[in-house]
Amino acid sequence: MSAMASSPWTSPLAERADDATTMTCAYCGAPATDRDHLSGRQASDSAQSDPDLWLASCHRCNVLGYQVWEANGLTVVEDPPETRVRRVALSSLRVADNGLWILTPPRFWVALARLLVETGDELRKRAGSR
């Protein structure tokens, strides 16, 4: 059985090493030094919410991402599914504004699909409990 058949969230590309340092910043095109985890952490001492949902970034743009979250009231996680989606949306807008072609890590699209499916499931549960 192939890796793809064993789980909808795995692929042969998942075995490749993800190295942000060989990429350019998704936001400004400078050499990348960091991984910008698009949905961040639920708490400052917790693991990344979606560890494979990242883009290569320079340090300046990575720090700017936190400032964007702060300006939009997303540094404190009150509603995890909503916060995750809003953070990813803000990062997507920042990428869209730059006009650059970007290279995404191998598991990026799988991680994004997982986030959207999980959020949709959470919204469905909430709607059913009303």
10, part of any domain: no
Angle at 23 between CA 31 and CA 73, to 5 degrees: 75
Q: Name beta bridge partners: 37.
A: 54
Helices 59-71, 80-98: crossing angle, 10 deg rounding: 130
Pull the structure tokens for residue 46.
């917790």
**Please, are residues 23 and 52 in contact by the beta-carbon 8 Å criterion?**
no
Question: What's the number of CA atoms in the CB half-sphere (13 Å) around residue 26?
Answer: 23
Number of domains into which the chain is organized: 1
Mean pLDDT of 28-54: 88
What digits encode the pLDDT tens for the residues 80-129? 888 999 999 999 999 998 888 888 888 899 999 999 999 999 989 988 87
13, part of any domain: no
12, part of any domain: no
For position 23, what pLDDT does the model report?
84
**pLDDT over 80 (residue 7):** no
Residues spanned by the domain of 84: 20-128
On average, the pLDDT of the chain sits at 82
**pLDDT over 90 (residue 43):** no
6, part of any domain: no
